[in-house]
A and B are shown apart, each in its own frame.
Chain A
Amino acid sequence: MRQNKKNFLKKVKGVFEPLLFSREYLKNKKWIIYLIIAFAILSTATRLLVPIIIGDIINSLESRNFNAIYLEIEYIMLLAVLSAIASFVVNFGAQYTSQIYAYNLRKRVVNSMVKKKTKFFHDKTSGDLLSRTTMDIDASRNFIMNSLSQLIPTMLIIIFAVGYLLYINVVYSLFFLATVPILIYVGVKFQKKQRPHWMKIRDTYGVMTESIQEDITGQRTVRSYLQEEPQIDRFTGITDTYYGEYMNVAHLRGIYNNLMPFIISAAATAVIFYGGYSSIVSKTDVGGLVAAVNIFTMVTFPVSFLGRLIAFSENARAGIGRIKGVLDRDLDEDVLTSGDFPKSNGISIRGVKYKRGAREILKNVDLEIPPESFVCLTGETGSGKSSLVNLIPRLEDPSDGQIFIGGVNVRDIPLSSLRNHIAIVPQEISLLSGSISENIIFGRNGITEEMTRRAAKIARIDDFIESLPEGYSTIIGERGITLSGGQRQRVALARAIASNPRILILDDATSSVDPETELAIFSRIVKSIEGITVVLVSLRYSAMKYASTAYELENGEISELQNVEEISYAMEKDGFKNETDL
């Protein structure tokens, strides 16, 4: 029983959960909220004063007291000014506060997101994360705005009504008070029933974002394979679900939300019954009864508004639930603390195992990469080459085993130093929309224009960049000039080289660059960056030959190739055999 009561209270409190949640993002803004409350009271008071003045005016008209009328008109204009000021403060204050909330929360979410380990992103899609950082935040912002601007006037009107009822007749006010638990019960029921639907709405919104993003990214494939119609069907399916859930909420609103003013009307009927009967019996004045019934009708709108607020609140809560998934600090990593990077840039990988989900990718890898060397890592498709190199700058962590750089366990090197000194060029290149030089500098401090140009030169993209009319200021990325695959890779390479890293990892990063250019780039890297260690993942024979040592990953284990021509999957010879057929 007590448990039930506790749960019940918890549910009632739940409606205001978004407000509690918002406190953290509205620090130092308390005074605005107090201001809003004060002016909301003023605004309600002016609203309640209007009928009183109108009443006075009517009295004056009846008594033909025209001087009083002119005075009362002045009162009305005074009220107009007061009410205008109050409405401005309340409306603007509520909007301002809610926007500050959204701003702070969004900032926090992004802060939290970029600090997550890459593991966090394994099972998240960008569309879903995108909706969490935009519309889910907006759902709670909307509730906060509505609460701030209207909750207080609404509550004040109800309180005023109850007070006035008490003043008229204590029994009548009991009728009203009797409706309160029923209203709360209906409200809680309403809240509970719509909960799953709002959660579904917010999730579906994420799926919708996801599917638009996927569709845009894959437009060429969509069109080549005439997938336009299936894609449209898929999307329509999502919007159908979304629409369906809104309808489910509408059905609930249709019943529960409308039930609330109906309960008030029922109570009003009871008052008429009781009041009428007792008035007849005691032959008292009916004025009190009329006023009481009027009060009841006056509160129907505020009560039904409170019901609507419950709907907004559930939408907000569903959004907040999803935001919390990102705010959660579980998978955070410290990317700020910096420290020393080991003097030696040799890498030892000892007994490393790596699993991704249920897939065991690396079984037992031992590898010594001497300092200042140029080594190549090769292996069949899907043998775990990328997984292995991702472990070095700790983009992923091994499930077992250790990695040392210059004798220091990578776990003991602050991430910031680790990643500042190890540059990795992944297979999947991401260029940001911005100029070429912005893409090379990539927001890092201390990379000068000269370093940028030097990096472009090493990556052999300088001639191309200089041939562009706007040179390094040329906009690339999503809506910039169209770069070929190889050019994109070389811009990414220049980005990696620009900071003079101690260790450079090239994860098949030159696959779209022609072999001539590729070899030229390698030799420039080695010549220009003194003492650099290069770990090259490559499938190319020419690249393997360039390296001082080549290793092969096979079945999750690694072996050194004594002679590049001996690689277990070596096909070059066979390949040449075919060419001789020409």
Chain B
Amino acid sequence: MKQTYDEIEESYIKTLRGRTALKRLLKDMAKNRKQTAILVASVMITAIAATFSPLAIGDAVNGVATGSFKIIIEFSLVFISLALIQFGSNRFRVLSSTILAQGTVKNLRDRSFKSIQHVPISFFSKVKAGFLISRMTNDGETLGEFLTFQIPSVVSGMTTVIMSIAIMLYLDFNLTLYALIVLPFLSIFTLSLQGKVRRNYLRTRKTIAAITGNLAENISSIRSIKAFNVESYTEGKFDGLNTDNLNANIKASRLSSVYGAIVRIIEYTGIAIVVFAGAIQLKAGLISIGILVSFIFYVQEFFDPVIQLSQLYNSYQSSIVGVGRIYGIIDSKKEAALDGEINVSSLNDSIVLKDVNFAYDDSDALKNINLAIKKGENIGIVGHTGAGKTTLSNLIMKFYTPQSGEILVDGKNLSEINTESYRNLISPVLQEPFLFRGTIYENVKIAAPDKSEEEIEKLAGDFNLDRIFSKLPQGLETNVGELGRSLSEGQKQAIAILRALCRDPQIIIMDEPTSNIDPYSEKFIFQSLEKFAREKTLILITHRFSMISLVDKIIVLQNGEIVESGTFPELREKKGIFSQMYDILYGNRGESLS
């Protein structure tokens, strides 16, 4: 059976169940003791002040009855003071609930962001970026809104419920039991729907994530969409997801509205039962009329917040499902879990790959690779597209772990080496250069934070990259735009090279570093690299041989296996795959060289 995307996502990011998620959320929120205390205190003060207000009015009115204007003034002042107290306590309530709510959301977002910096790289080939974004932004927002505006209602609602039950018990035990008779029904009813409600809201969250995922993809491929004039198709595809989301939301809100309506009926039934039972007891002379009357009022006091809370059930479920999804990201297995403890500070001898096999899911990428890269050696990896060149460099950079065989760095197994300390030794130039938004300087500085702008500019000159940047009116101050889109591919590559070289690493891994750079500029870069790379360990992946003279040894990959290896003259002599590729690129002139 082929897995659906949902199942794949679920196997990578767990979604916590409602109750577990809620418990954890409450625990996280309660960590801010001070604000929790302020919130509870301010809600209680508000509630108490609200309870005393009618009394103050009552007393003031008594003043009217006794004709005492003094009493009226006194109790009116009490009344307005109580209002002032409520004003103050409500203010604290709003502040503390916002701190708790938005603080929690911020904390969850920060933690999930942190988490994605540490998950294995393979995670990103399984989970869509848009889906992750949706969990962190959309789901977080739903929770934030719920908490900011509803926590006070929940706290005060629960306080009122507890207080009114206490008062009812004080007034009459038997009648209280009658009043509470509906509670088990309400709970059973709520619990019986819970699974369905949860699934409904999960569906709404998943469909909005699908929308986000689809949009993210559409926006990033907008140029292709325009170039192929498939705007309508794109819209149609989006519309499908948009409709799914609409249906999911309608389904969820239909159920929650039915729930709300039935809760209403339960409420009124509760009141009716109390009236009925009260009347019978009154008839039997078991209670006084006074107690029954106050009881009826308190029953309403009690049901009001119950209803209110049940109406919140809607947004509660939606938020709690979202929270479960955010915790899923936070809990994702970290790369560090597989990380070793040996710290390395330099490469002293060699990187050796021993019987390494690697497959992406079920498609083999590398088979039985044996390769030794000595310190200071410059190695070229060549081969046709899809031969496994980039995969090999991914393994060496520890982005992936081989399924079998081992990679030894100075004799130590790479999996036992601390990733961070190891990556510190390497500067990669990836096949698709990635740039952060910001200037060229800023992009280089991430690799060399100690270098000043002057030093970076000087290095750009040393590596002969300055002629590429000189085409930009603002030079290294140029803003690269999102993913470097304001620049040409060649300029992007030049920045990636500068970044790698500025770090002054021990090992350089370059994956087609100059594929979009013109040969003339390339030549200059190459010349400067020749000197630089001599002191470094260089792994150069290429199928353009213009830079091949940088390397001492060439490895030829085909279908994931090493098929040839040797120096340039040796391989030319051999007249194998390498020679063939070389001849095609350089035609007869290459031929004449050998």
Contact = CB atoms under 8 A, between A and B. Distances in A.
A494 interface: no
Interface in B3-56: 5, 8, 53-54
B221 to A, nearest CB: 3
B289 interface: yes
Contacts of A91: 253, 256-257, 260-261, 311
Nearest to B220: A126
Contacts of A561: none
A224 B128 CA distance: 21
Interface string B427-465: 110111011110000000011000000000000000000
A204 to B, nearest CB: 11
A295 to B, nearest CB: 12
A125 B76 CA distance: 59
A579 B60 contact: no
Given A443-B234, A582-B567, A212 B219 contact: no
A443 B237 contact: yes
Given A266-B80, A276-B72, A464-B386, A572 B519 contact: yes
Nearest to B58: A290
Contact of A486 (B208, B293, B386, B499): B386
A100 B246 contact: yes
Contacts of B563: none
B354 interface: no
Given A73-B275, A395-B227, A272 B60 contact: yes
Interface stretch (B86-94, B190-198, B320-328, B341-349): B86-94
Contacts, number: 535
A530 interface: no
A251 B483 contact: no
A246 B98 contact: yes
A333 to B, nearest CB: 8
A572 B523 CA distance: 9
A57 interface: yes
A485 B253 contact: no
B189 interface: no
Interface string A550-582: 000000000000000000111110111011111
Interface string A427-446: 11010110000000011100
A424 interface: yes
Contacts of A99: 246, 249-250, 253
Contact of A539 (B103, B272, B426, B518): B518
Nearest to B362: A469
A111 B238 CA distance: 10
Interface string A204-247: 01001110111111111111111110111001100110110011
A231 B112 CA distance: 13
A290 B58 CA distance: 8
Interface string A512-526: 111111010000000
B183 interface: no
A33 to B, nearest CB: 16
A35 interface: no
B216 interface: yes
Most buried by B among A382, A386, A444: A382
Interface stretch (A21-29, A157-165, A175-183, A540-548): A540-548
A138 interface: yes
A106 B222 contact: no
Contacts of A110: 215, 218, 234-235, 238, 242
A95 interface: yes
B293 A258 contact: no
A240 B107 CA distance: 10
A289 interface: yes
A417 to B, nearest CB: 9
A571 B584 contact: no
Given A83-B264, A213-B129, A487 B386 contact: yes
A114 B218 contact: yes
A218 B57 CA distance: 65
B293 A58 contact: yes
A230 B449 CA distance: 11
A11 to B, nearest CB: 23
A289 B283 CA distance: 35
Contact of B282 (A61, A239, A432): A61
A147 to B, nearest CB: 15
Contact of A224 (B224, B249, B271, B397): B397
Contacts of B317: none
Given A227-B446, A277-B69, A581 B549 contact: yes
Contacts of A73: 272, 275-276
Contact of B94 (A54, A76, A250, A513): A250
A570 B585 CA distance: 15
B221 A571 contact: no
Contacts of B276: 69-70, 73
A536 B515 CA distance: 15
A131 B216 CA distance: 10
Nearest to A555: B471
A184 interface: no
A254 B428 CA distance: 53
Nearest to A93: B257
A357 B212 CA distance: 30
A155 to B, nearest CB: 19
Interface string A40-72: 000000000010001001100110101001101
Contacts of B385: 484-487, 489-490, 512-514, 517
Interface stretch (B167-175, B367-375, B407-415, B489-497): B489-497
A165 to B, nearest CB: 16
Contacts of A230: 446
B508 to A, nearest CB: 11
B386 A381 contact: no
A147 B548 CA distance: 69
A272 B72 contact: yes
Most buried by B among A208, A359, A484: A484
Nearest to B88: A258
B228 A570 contact: no
Given A224-B428, A232-B117, A297-B53, A479 B268 contact: no
Contacts of B520: 380, 568-571
Given A216-B129, A262-B83, A243 B103 contact: yes
B88 to A, nearest CB: 8
Contact of B128 (A208, A231, A469, A479): A479
Contacts of B261: 84-85, 87-88, 91
B360 A381 contact: no
A182 to B, nearest CB: 15
B430 A213 contact: no
A53 to B, nearest CB: 10
B128 A478 contact: yes
A539 B362 CA distance: 36
A502 interface: no
A479 B126 contact: yes
A379 to B, nearest CB: 7
Contacts of B503: 225
Residue among A266, A276, A416 with the highest chain B CB neighbour number at 10 A: A276
A73 B273 CA distance: 9
Nearest to B509: A224
A227 B447 CA distance: 8
Contact of A276 (B60, B114, B269): B60
B158 interface: no
A131 B113 CA distance: 17
A9 interface: no
A176 B483 CA distance: 59
Given A134-B211, A381-B494, A517-B385, A205 B216 contact: no
Given A103-B246, A443-B230, A257 B94 contact: yes
B434 to A, nearest CB: 4
Interface string B97-139: 0110011001001100110111001001111111011101110
Pairs of residues from A and B, 7 with the lowest C-beta to C-beta distance, nearest first: A486-B385, A569-B520, A443-B233, A381-B490, A80-B268, A430-B221, A95-B253
7 contacts: A66-B279, A88-B258, A113-B219, A272-B79, A427-B516, A512-B431, A579-B549
